Amino acid sequence: MADSLYSKAETLLAQALGAAGPDGAIVPGIEPASTFVRGEDGRTRYGRDDDPTLVPAESVIAALEGGAGCLLFSSGMAACTAPFLALKAGARVVLPKAMYWSLRAWVQNYAADWGLTVDFYDNADTASLAAACARPADLVWVESPANPTWEITDLAVAADLAHKAGALLVVDNTVPTPLLTRPLEFGADLVVHSATKGLNGHSDILAGALVTGRDDAHWQRLKTVRKGNGSRLGAFEAWLLLRGLRTLHLRLERQCASAMKFAEHFAGHAGVREVIYPGLASHPQHALAARQMTGGFGGMLSVRVAGGFKAAASVAKTTRLFRDATSLMGVESLIEHRQPVEGPTSPTPDDLLRISIGVEHVDDLIADFAAALAAS
């Protein structure tokens, strides 16, 4: 946000850094072409790695994160897997035990096939991370707050430990978004987003984003990975992503406030074993979250139901406003019983419901969840 005209994130988002379409249009257009006429320099321009429709959204996301560049991918998984695909055979990666389940499963199931060594650490335990970084590594992954149990990892400490081990620090910033946390400021090398979620916010595209703190040889290698895999985001999806980004600040402000009120209401409720939300003073890493997250604690929380597995399953099926569906941080509120989704090897408690707070009136959400608890 170096340009003083866009010194505030809200202005940057609403104006999309001044992006505009042809003939005075205040909304950027969509360029569907897959190939372009070569310029006088003879350089090939082909849609797999050069599409003008992606530029506005990539520029906005890079500016929000304070990064040197952004690459948009065809899905969050495509963006998440790119840093691993850019590694060489024999590389060692360090991952948190609680993280986006699909990525964890992908690394565990396929990493060994091209010679990656994988070690895990406890998200909120600095000593555990230090032990994992005590020998050389190539990539350290952090997700904070960690989905779906919302542990907080000290990003500055993680950056220091990763760099001493010779590793890049990659931070999944999907849940807080750069409006609440900017990992590059804490020393991260790369930031990844499932832009399907909060950045877009309308549950109508699949998209991923990768942001770098510096344009170096590794960043160029990541560009090659995206080009070689054909995993660039489509033009129409990029246009929709930019449209969603322009209201991110409004949506997130509402979601943070509602999530806090929801969490406070059900903390101590007779039908609830535990409410897990970094904004609650009862959260073990609340003080750290307050230092790392500015402007709120996000729209995601989890509730452990007092009645156990069956009661949790019943609540997820009984709510009427909360939709029982995968994904998060859209305008509609969602609920999901996570352990059955993740499978028998999941570390997630079997009584845990992951809750994504949307932009509905919070009193209606509280009443809906309370009624489902009572019915269970």
Rounded to whole angstroms, the Cα distance separating 232 from 222 reads 12
Active-site entry in 48, 97, 221, 304: 48
Q: Is residue 130 a contact partner of residue 154, using CB atoms and an 8 Å limit?
A: no
Written as one letter, the residue type at 215 is D
Active-site entry in 92, 104, 182, 197: 197
Token pair belonging to 295? 């402007």
Give the CA angle between residues 326, 332, 337 to the nearest 5°. 30
Q: Is residue 76 a contact partner of residue 208, using CB atoms and an 8 Å limit?
A: yes
Q: Is residue 272 a contact partner of residue 373, using CB atoms and an 8 Å limit?
A: yes
- Can you spell out the DSSP letters for 267-289? TT-TTEEEEE-TTSTTSTTHHHH
Active-site entry in 100, 182, 232, 277: 100
Active-site entry in 154, 172, 189, 351: 172
Rounded to whole angstroms, the Cα distance separating 359 from 303 reads 19
Packing angle, helices 54-65 and 235-245, rounded to 10? 40
Q: Is residue 149 a contact partner of residue 32, using CB atoms and an 8 Å limit?
A: no
Active site residue 100: yes
First to last CA, the chain: 49
Active site residue 172: yes
Token pair belonging to 221? 């290698």
- Residues with catalytic roles: 48, 100, 172, 197
